[in-house]
Amino acid sequence: MPGNEKKGANTDPDPDPAPYLFLTFEMKRADMAKPYDAKKSFWTPDGEGGFLEGMLESENGGKVQVMVGHDKKTFKKEQIQQVNPRKFEKCEDMSNLTYLNEASVLHNLRSRYQAKLIYTYSGCSAWLSILTK
């Protein structure tokens, strides 16, 4: 498997990547418990190159007001991006994401890395390792 170090003799089989690829049932259940509204959940820019999740409060022309944490912030409509349904949290294959936008891909990679799920698919069969040395 690309990106891993072989721990035995050259004739030993490669280590099983499953613990670093697939979610456990407990992880899925915890992710499904997070609040989500398909029409109001959006990613907003955080000002540092990342994104924060917020709930849409109001829309007025080209401006939207989003509740991020306990703060109401105003953005241009083009700056916010939709959040994927919770069933796609830590998704193994990112091409399955409902909303394939920059914020959703970065969130998926970050949440998988934090959960020690360091391998993911992107498209047909390409393996990506998000583990950095």
Task: Dump pLDDT digits (tens) for 66-91.
Answer: 999 999 999 999 999 999 999 999 98
Question: 16 versus 58: which is more confidently predicted?
Answer: 58
Q: What is the pLDDT of residues 91-132, one digit of tens each?
A: 888 888 999 999 999 999 999 999 988 888 776 554 555 555
- Taking the whole predicted model, whether its pTM rises above 0.85 is answered as no
Alpha-carbon distance of 40 to 44, in angstroms, equals 12
Average pLDDT over residues 24-37: 88
Burial state string for 41-58 with b = 16 or more CB within 10 A and e = fewer than 16: bbbbbeeeeebbbbebee
Reply yes or no on whether the pLDDT at 25 is more than 70.
yes
End-to-end CA distance of the chain: 17
**Is 50 within 8 Å of 106 (Cβ atoms)?**
yes
